[in-house]
Amino acid sequence: MPTRSCDVIVIGAGPNGLAVAIRLAKAGRKVLILERQATERPGFAPGFTAPPLAHLSYNLDPRVEAGMNLSSHGLTWAAPVLDTTAVSSDGHHLRLSGRDLGKVDGPLSPEDRLAWAALSARLTRFASVLRPFRDMPPPRLAKGVGNDLWALAKIGLRARLMGKAEFRELLRMFLTNTYDVLNDELSDPLLKGALAFDATLGTWLGPRSPNSLLPWLDRLSGGGPRLPAGGMGALAASMRNSAMAAGVTIRSGASVGRALIEGGRATGVVLDGGEELRAPLIVSAVSPKSTLLGLVGPQALDTGLVNRIRHQKARGGAAKLHLALSGVPDFRGADLKTRLVLAPSEEHVERAFNPVKYGQVPDTPVMEVLLPSAHEAGHAPAGQHLLTAVVQYAPHNPADRDAARADMLKAALAQLEAHSPGIGGLITHAELLMPYDIETIWGLPGGNWHAGELSIEQMLFLRPLPGLSQYRTPVQGLWLASAGCHPGGGVSGTPGWNAAAAIERAGE
Amino acid sequence: MNVLTHYETPLLQSPFHARTAAANKMHSWGNWGGYASVLTYEDLAMEHAAIRNTASVYDLCPMVKYRITGPDAAAYLNRLTVRNAAKLSVGSVHYTVWCDDAGKLEDDGTLFRLGAHDYRLCCQERHLPWLLDSAFGFDVAVREETEEVAALSLQGPTSAAALSAAGFDVTALKPFRMADFPFGRGRLMISRTGFTGDLGYELWTTPDLALNLWDHIFAAGELLGIRPIGSDALNLARLETGFVITNYDFTPAQQAVREDRARSPFEMGLDWLIDWDKGQFTGRQALLAEKAKGSKWAFVGVEIDGNISAEGAVLYHDRKTEAGVVTGACWSPTLKKSIALAQVERRFLAKGNLWAEIYALRELHYAKLMQRVRVVDRPFFAPDRRRATPPGRF
Amino acid sequence: MTAWDILVIGAGHNGLVAACYLAKAGLKVCVVEKNDWIGGAAVSRELYPGFTYSNCSYVNSLFRPEIMRDLDLPKHGLQILPYEGGALMTEDGGYLGMFRDHDANRREIARHSKRDAEAYDRYARDVLRHCRFIRPMLMRTPPDPASFRPRDLAELAWLGKQMFGLSELAMMDMIRFWTMSIADYLDEYFENPAVKAYQAVGSIIGTALGPMSPGTAYVLLHHAMGDVDGNVGAWGYSRGGMGGVTKALTASLRAAGGEVITGAGVDRVLVKNGRSHGVVLANGDEVIARRVVSNMDVRRTFLKHVEETELPPEFVKRVKGFKTRGSSGKLNIALDGVPNFPALPKGAPNIKGDLHFTGTIEKMERAYDDWKSGHFSADPFQDCMIPTMIDPTMTPPGKHFMSCFVQYAPPKIEGRDWTDADRDAFRDACLNQIEAYAPGFKNLVLHVEVRTPRELEAEVGLTEGNIFQGELTFDQLLFNRPVPGYAQYRTPIRDLYLCGSSTHPGGGVMGAPGRNAAAEILRDMKLPAKDLSDAYPVL
């Protein structure tokens, strides 16, 4: 029996699903969230819980944080500001301030110190000019379509008010590559390596790829990394708590098989078990690709659109490493309460990208390492440690997936060993999630963090696809709200928040 | 079959080439879809007269043919084309069009339902990528089979008699229906279809039987005035009946370099084909929006004063304002009128007062004429014999 | 000593185009050229007895037809020959040919993929759409988006109007095309690796990027937007070699009263009170002129021939940051006969066109990976042509000239200068590749001229051997070329102009930078630009 139990069905209980749900619930609608996963993933080692995909918060939307009142639902920060250590293999680490992007401690030449201070100030300035784009629906390229011309004019004006020279630099650097920007200004390989790593984190671009600066500017606009108390799982829990407190129903283990479409209009969903649930409004917080090709299906869409979504690029380039350690690792004295970046130079980052283009595993990957257990108890049994790392780059579709995973783990552990001699002896359990594992577990096409690559040709009004950037789909009553939409991924909740605003504006 | 390589003969030869080449007394060849195709065998007027008076044979092989098979074939075609392919009964044919997402025409064609899950789509242009892309998510196989089929169009008042003389009894065959006959070591499929608006049939077989078929039909039709016709004569006949040809009367969307050149079914007078109730098809939303908002262009048949063909003429409103363009025109030998097909902006269509600016080249000088244009119903020429079943005696 | 109205540094095609237009406007124009011959990178040189080499640029498509007409170049000897053919040979002994005839071409592609054969039409349409959009921009001075001058605002408005003349979706597809990698772009149309590799050729020629780098789809457009007699995307030979272009320009210049002095390298540009008034030649002679126009690239002009103290520091910094990394080398080969490529069908015209041996995008990209690490490609990409299959004037009958354009060759080998041993190893890598597809090829070789970025810089003056006088990436195009704020052919020094490929619209033997620079100079001199045609309208 089809049941109509709610006003809105939201598919997916990730940050965007929760954000859209709570905003609609607060506007008085009855919202049901359907989440595929039944329970928490089993831990990868005795006494260790399974870490979530993201291990740091980069760009949690302040509107979401406030709107969901997360602090009163349990969110506190283990590290509200996180410094970064560019780990050197000879112990001459650089420590990059999380509070002040331009500040570096460690053995750095005065020239580089000055140059980085100036460059970081410029990048921050550009990022802040571009920041407002994140909070609005992407503008459309047509007249009389309801663009917020005032907001756009303000962005343009702010860009121009930086001064003629800076405005010109923005226009020049908008589509430039990270490698050249770094080498134009800096000479220290370790600093350039850490920055090149940060710039390309989570993208399918190398530092030399043109347009690679833009995703970095986008990340910088969200502020520095932060670590929630209890880890990112706790952040997710606080979001869920907030949603439930607002009256949102979350149903776990409810895998949506397809959307019900009648007369060109979405009227509900069918669960894998065959159960039908009906609602006048369906919001998909799973990737646009899975939504359109899986839930809606090509039969209900135009061929051209299906082509576009099939060709939407979703190549995950990052693997996730989880290690259970029997003791404290030593990264040649690096502060374990910082984010450790293992990227000896910008050339290393580029070289690590090369093989991935051909579906192969790099010999010397670069990585971001975090020890949550160094910050607080609870992540690992007493005396033991949890190490989580993002390892780049990993092939998303190698010929032999198991062999690639094994090679990748070997290469990652070798890199760790090189920077933390003896760490190998501390490892009691290891788990490496390749992009295809990430796809299986979290349903992200290609294992791409952003549910569709974040690169200029898939950003702003081109995200997720030309003609589909306003969160609305061609199927009436069906909306998109995942990281695959503008402005993209990370645990920000912004796409969900923006989608809810668009739904409200449309009066649906 | 074609044994010559493409760099030796850029134009393909049809399975009937040995016969068409021998009959092509004027050596008048054109390129149709990559094939050498006869424009006029001998004499245009005589060839046109055969269509309307006796029986004409036209080599159809260059027409692009796709075969669509599989359990989802009907559902696939319903999503692809604007008409309802599921309603087409096995053994029937219908005319249809398909559009891109924007509701602009990609092509028109005839769809043959050969079996419950087996269709053939014949059209002017090549669409394999679009057809394959459209198959994503459907359990169908799409295959181009142009070179695997040999086809002739036999059209004219004595065509049924010629077929009877050839041993193929088609007296009961209704328009848009097919019948299957044994022929030689293979089969011959005959459909009562055509592009002349007259009594006529299309004959479909395999390339190995092509020359036999040609000889057999010509022998049977000898006393019934049968003769081969080229594309020029066919073009006159199709204009007289008001049929459109892709890339003559409209630019298909996938080829339109200039965005504003593509046309919708509304703009080509083909919206009557659309089945709005069958569910989703590509372009449906765009066409619904156009239906609500109105279209910019219209496609019409017109009669033009005087006796000069208006080919390529620009149409004006009130002799001054450009209102459209003639896409095909002729002096109709059958109707004894100057007729034309034209794209006209709707706003001028409503106002009327249309004129055609005709440049007639006469001994190196142009005579410039401004002739009155009257919009008339299509088809211009529609004899009863085209539908009569059984066919009348000529 | 004569005082000239205009002194042009460098007798390359753009310098000569600028000189011609200015001379036709009635100015006294002198071009000084460091080499003993004229032509820059558009030259025909007899480097082996009886053999004429197009030893730098080797084919023509981009040279603006408006300029050919304005300067009456055909009357002065320029003859462009369309060519047919072309083929990509694959490792398995097969080939993918190119044919001028649409149907032959479709059937050829269909041998590899029926789908791709029919996909080609939509692909060609879309590329043509982009060509139509960009063409009107080639012969216009880019606006300065930071300026509020009426002219810049008007030009920006014009650009906006061009954009908004498209539908929303077309505009978005345009932006995607301009920012995507050619590999991703081709994936949207084609499935066959050889078909994709062949189409990707134009996206890497001269470019310090691999086909998987974003931005390379634009480079493809840069090579597809030209034409031979209206046949957009087609390429042709200049009869007698590419020197035919500069020879005709020189004749046109002399007919208009201008002069060219060879063997006259410039030591430095004379600057006084922020204004240039001539140059000092390498031999110490001063040449005085009211205005100086540099056909050298922006880095060579300002970092080698202008005192840094005369320039704003920010400008110098940006000039230093202007990327001119060379990525190409070239082999010019005298052949005793026609090489035999067993893969190519006998009697087909393929050998008369461009020949390639890189059958997949991945192989191209791997060749680029070598470049990134400071090596020439072990398995290089080559664009080989034998113009003498069509042009009878360049060699004795039965003998042939073969031009092999090679990617990738870095400006430096692992950070150090090229040595002769490096150059020989580079040559061998190229010759061995050809030999693998044409057994016996090496026995036909009479002479080889090898040109790495080192030779290109030393002889032609292209900094780091970059054939475009600056990479064609978006941070270096339009109003960013060569330096934001100085993209209108003027420089921080009054009366000193740039007219080379460092300026909009960039490299290739196009002539547009020279023409546009002349237009700006005439504007500054308040002279009518009556002999300058606007771009032919795109209908």
Which candidate, A65, A116, A70, places its Cα nearest to that of A223? Answer: A65
Annotate A153-180 with b (16+ C-beta within 10 A) or e (fewer).
eebeebbbebeeebbbbbbbbbbbbbbb
Q: Is A358 on the interface with C (CB under 8 A)?
A: yes
Instruction: Supply the pLDDT for residue A3.
Output: 54
The distance of Cα C323 from the centroid of its chain, to the nearest Å, equals: 16
What is the average per-residue pLDDT within C260-274? 97
Question: Which backbone phi and psi does C41 adopt, to 5 degrees?
Answer: -100, 10
Q: Do C179 and A175 touch (CB under 8 A)?
A: yes
In chain A, whose CA is at the least distance from the CA of B130? A303
Please state, rounded to an integer, the average pLDDT across all residues of chain A.
Answer: 95
Chain B touching partners, 3 or more CB pairs below 8 A: A, C
Q: Do A302 and B80 touch (CB under 8 A)?
A: no
Q: Do C119 and B259 touch (CB under 8 A)?
A: no
Structure confidence by residue, pLDDT tens digits, C201-227: 999 999 999 999 999 999 999 999 998
Instruction: Enumerate residues 6+ apart whose C-beta is below 8 A from B292.
Output: none
Q: Is C458 on the interface with A (CB under 8 A)?
A: no
Contact C502, C470 (CB under 8 A): yes
What is the average per-residue pLDDT within C447-473? 97
Other C-beta atoms closer than 10 Å to the C-beta of B251 total 18
Q: Do B7 and C99 touch (CB under 8 A)?
A: yes
3-state secondary structure of C142: coil
Q: Which amino acid is at A318?
A: A
Other C-beta atoms closer than 10 Å to the C-beta of A244 total 17
- From chain A, pick out residues whose CB is under 8 angstroms from the CB of C362: 357-358
What is the average per-residue pLDDT within C123-127? 94
Secondary element (H or E) of residue C21: helix C13-24
CA distances from C45 to B269, C41, C82, C403, C471 (A): 63, 11, 21, 13, 27
Query: For the complex shown, is ipTM > 0.85?
Result: yes
- From chain C, pick out residues whose CB is under 8 angstroms from the CB of A460: none
Instruction: Give residue B2's pLDDT band: very low, low, confident or very high (50, 70, 90).
Output: very low
Question: Which backbone phi and psi does A302 adopt, to 5 degrees?
Answer: -75, 150
Q: Which two tokens stand for residue B188?
A: 């011959």
Q: How far apart are the first and last CA of chain A?
A: 25
Q: Do C164 and A313 touch (CB under 8 A)?
A: no
Q: What is the DSSP letter of B89?
A: P
Please state, rounded to an integer, the average pLDDT across all residues of chain B.
Answer: 96
- From chain A, pick out residues whose CB is under 8 angstroms from the CB of B137: 293, 297-299, 306
Instruction: Give residue B1's pLDDT band: very low, low, confident or very high (50, 70, 90).
Output: very low
CATH fold, domain B17-61+149-229, is Gyrase A; domain 2 (3.30.1360)
Separation between Cα atoms, residue C475 and residue A176, nearest integer Å: 5
Interface test with B, best of A296, A302, A465 (most B CBs within 10 A): A302
Domains and CATH numbers, chain C: 3-42+63-78+239-323+473-524 (3.50.50.60)
Instruction: Enumerate residues 6+ apart whose C-beta is below 8 A from A301.
Output: A292, A474, A475, B280
**CATH architecture, domain defined by B64-147:** 2-Layer Sandwich (3.30)
What is the average per-residue pLDDT within C149-153? 96
pLDDT at C427 over 60: yes
Annotate B208-220 with b (16+ C-beta within 10 A) or e (fewer).
ebbebbbebbbeb
Structure confidence by residue, pLDDT tens digits, C1-11: 568 999 999 99
Q: Kindly report the nearest CA distance between residue A424 and chain C, in angstroms.
A: 31
Q: Do C168 and A140 touch (CB under 8 A)?
A: yes
Instruction: Supply the pLDDT for residue C2.
Output: 67
**Pairing between strand B337-345 and A265-271?**
unpaired
Separation between Cα atoms, residue A5 and residue A211, nearest integer Å: 46
Separation between Cα atoms, residue B352 and residue B300, nearest integer Å: 12
Question: Which backbone phi and psi does A361 adopt, to 5 degrees?
Answer: -95, 135
Contact C232, C128 (CB under 8 A): yes
Q: How many CB pairs under 8 A join A and B?
A: 40
Instruction: Supply the pLDDT for residue B4.
Output: 57
Instruction: Enumerate residues 6+ apart whose C-beta is below 8 A from C11.
Output: C31, C32, C33, C35, C38, C39, C40, C246, C250, C260, C262, C295
Separation between Cα atoms, residue C401 and residue C337, nearest integer Å: 9
Q: Do C103 and B257 touch (CB under 8 A)?
A: no
Give the one of B128, B254, B255 whose C-beta lies nearest to C115's C-beta: B128
Separation between Cα atoms, residue C115 and residue C529, nearest integer Å: 50
Q: Please, which residues 249-288 of chain B have a Cβ atom closer than 8 Å to chain C?
A: 254-257, 259
- pTM exceeds 0.80, yes or no: yes
Q: Which two tokens stand for residue C220?
A: 């493809």
Instruction: Supply the pLDDT for residue A1.
Output: 45
Residues of chain A with pLDDT under 70: 1-4
Give the one of B7, B102, B255 whose C-beta lies nearest to C121's C-beta: B255
Q: Is B138 on the interface with A (CB under 8 A)?
A: yes
Instruction: Supply the pLDDT for residue C29.
Output: 98
Give the one of C99, C121, C348 whose C-beta lies nearest to B254's C-beta: C121
The DSSP line for B13-78 is: --TTHHHHHHH-TT--EEEETTEEEES-SS-HHHHHHHHHHSEEEEE-TTSEEEEEESTTHHHHHH
Q: Which two tokens stand for residue B326?
A: 């003639």
Give the one of B7, B126, B144 whose C-beta lies nearest to C349's C-beta: B7
Instruction: Supply the pLDDT for residue C1.
Output: 54
Instruction: Supply the pLDDT for residue B21.
Output: 98
Q: Do C129 and B126 touch (CB under 8 A)?
A: no
Contact A228, A234 (CB under 8 A): yes
3-state secondary structure of C536: coil
Q: What is the DSSP letter of C351?
A: G
Asked if residue C408 has a cis previous peptide bond (ω within 30° of 0), the answer is yes
Q: Is B103 on the interface with A (CB under 8 A)?
A: no
Q: Is B136 on the interface with A (CB under 8 A)?
A: yes
Separation between Cα atoms, residue C156 and residue C160, nearest integer Å: 6
Give the one of B8, B129, B256 whose C-beta lies nearest to C119's C-beta: B129
Burial (CB count <10 Å: 0-12, 13-18, 19+), residue A30:
middle
**Pairing between strand C328-335 and C286-294?**
unpaired
Q: Is C47 on the interface with B (CB under 8 A)?
A: no
Contact B67, B142 (CB under 8 A): yes
Instruction: Give residue C339's pLDDT band: very low, low, confident or very high (50, 70, 90).
Output: very high
Q: Is C168 on the interface with A (CB under 8 A)?
A: yes
Q: What is the DSSP letter of C357?
A: -
Contact C16, C249 (CB under 8 A): yes
Q: Is A294 on the interface with C (CB under 8 A)?
A: no
Structure confidence by residue, pLDDT tens digits, B76-95: 999 999 999 999 999 999 99
Instruction: Supply the pLDDT for residue C539.
Output: 86
Q: Do A298 and B101 touch (CB under 8 A)?
A: no
Residues of A within an 8 Å Cβ radius of B: 264, 293, 297-307, 310, 474
Instruction: Enumerate residues 6+ apart whose C-beta is below 8 A from C356.
Output: C87, C88, C89, C197, C198, C201, C381, C382, C383, C384
Q: Is B89 on the interface with A (CB under 8 A)?
A: no
Contact A414, A407 (CB under 8 A): no
Chain C touching partners, 3 or more CB pairs below 8 A: A, B
Separation between Cα atoms, residue C35 and residue A393, nearest integer Å: 49
Percentage of chain C surpassing pLDDT 90?
Answer: 95
Give the one of B75, B137, B283 whose C-beta lies nearest to A302's C-beta: B283
Instruction: Give residue B5's pLDDT band: very low, low, confident or very high (50, 70, 90).
Output: confident
Interface test with C, best of B2, B5, B7, B260 (most C CBs within 10 A): B7
In chain C, whose CA is at the least distance from the CA of B6? C104
Structure confidence by residue, pLDDT tens digits, C163-205: 989 999 999 999 999 999 999 999 999 999 999 999 999 999 9
Q: Do B75 and A299 touch (CB under 8 A)?
A: yes
Q: Kindly report the nearest CA distance between residue A466 and chain C, in angstroms.
A: 6
3-state secondary structure of B216: helix
Q: Is B134 on the interface with A (CB under 8 A)?
A: yes
**CATH architecture, domain defined by B296-394:** Beta Barrel (2.40)
What is the average per-residue pLDDT within B171-198? 97
Q: Kindly report the nearest CA distance between residue A467 and chain C, in angstroms.
A: 7
C-alpha Rg value of chain C to the nearest Å: 22
Q: Kindly report the nearest CA distance between residue C8 and chain A, in angstroms.
A: 29
Q: Please, which residues 48-107 of chain B have a Cβ atom closer than 8 Å to chain C?
A: 102
What is the average per-residue pLDDT within C516-534? 96
Q: Do A298 and B136 touch (CB under 8 A)?
A: yes
Other C-beta atoms closer than 10 Å to the C-beta of A5 total 12
Q: Is B28 on the interface with C (CB under 8 A)?
A: no
For chain B, give every domain's residue range: 17-61+149-229, 64-147, 296-394
Which candidate, C438, C513, C470, C501, places its Cα nearest to that of C21? Answer: C513
Instruction: Supply the pLDDT for residue B6.
Output: 83
Q: E strands along chain B, which residues?
A: 29-32, 35-38, 55-59, 64-69, 93-99, 105-115, 118-123, 141-144, 150-155, 178-183, 186-191, 200-205, 226-228, 297-304, 314-317, 321-332, 337-345, 354-362, 365-376
